[in-house]
Every structure is written in C-alpha cells, then in structure tokens.
Amino acid sequence: MSATEHPRAGTTAAATSDKQFATFVVDNLLFGIEVSRVQEVLRYQEMTRVPRAVEEIEGLINLRGQIVTAIDVRRRLGLKPRESGRTPMNMVVRSEEGAVSLLVDEIGDVVDVEESAFEPVPDNVATGIRDLTSGVYKLEERLLLVLDTSKTIDVDTSSSRQRAQ
C-alpha cells in the first residue's frame, strides 16, 4: 500500500476524507478535535493549583517555560470525577490566547472522516456534552463527538461555581 492510500478504503486519503480529528476518551465517550488545533499530547504533568479558580481549571503546567492552563474535561462536561489514582493525559490545543491543556482519560488515534458524514448532536446527548460539541460522526464501532474547543476552553462564561473561599 502506498503512503497516500487510506488504510480502510484502499483509496487515497485526500479522495475519501475531508477532515482529520485527534481523538481522546473521557468517561468512555469518544471525542475529537481537528488535528490543526492540537499542538501536542503529553503524559500527566505536575500542576500548580490556582486559588479561587473555577472548578474546571485543574491548575497550571509549565510547558518548556510556557505557563499553560489545564482544564479538566470531565468537570467541564459535567461528568463524574475520574477514578482515584487514575492520572489524566494532556491534549494541548492552540487558542487565540495561547496554548491550553485539556485533561482527558486517554488519547486515541487520528481518524479521517468525510465532511458529508457530519451530523448534528443527537437530542438524547446530555446537555453538558451537547453544549460543548458541534456535531458527530458515526464511525464503524462508535460515535465521534466533535468537541468545540473554543467553547470548552472558555471557562469564564461557564455556569460553574467559584471554588470555596
């Protein structure tokens, strides 16, 4: 198979897919972010807590001299807390304000999807998740929820409570 062939379809990737998503799992849900928005993926990094920050902000990490805000995607989506002893992974994304780390349960693969397969988020998806996703793609075995990174990292406008004083 040549380097440009799509492994599933046997045709070139350019001919079969319009978008690529870097995927990750949070609470057994598969999410994707456009590859162009992802800066890098890192193992868990030690964090500095931010006093009085909204609860979605887990802390700050030092990424080669750059201070990066780390947002817990579970909290941001309104999901149950991560199991005790299970450390998250960092998916660092680019934003207009700079890099932001999204704390996720595990990192997945890069998947190719056809733009024509994009669908709106189903009504039966929980409100917290529906509010932060822009649509879905039906993959062979799973549903890929497309995370709206702009909304996800905009924790200032979230309805979260401030941490206890």
Q: What strands lie across the sheet with 98-104, from one edge to the other?
A: 38-42, 89-95, 98-104, 66-72, 57-63
The full DSSP string for 28-39 is: TEEEEEEGGGEE
C-beta separation of 107 from 31 below 8 A: no
Per-residue pLDDT tens digits of the chain, which is 165 residues long: 333 333 433 334 445 558 999 999 999 999 999 999 999 999 999 999 999 999 999 999 999 999 999 999 999 999 999 988 899 999 999 998 899 999 999 999 999 999 889 999 999 999 999 999 999 999 988 999 999 999 999 987 444 433 333
Question: What is this structure's pTM?
Answer: 0.82
Q: Which domains does the chain have, with CATH numbers?
A: 13-153 (2.40.50.180)
**Cα separation, 71 vs 57, whole angstroms:** 5
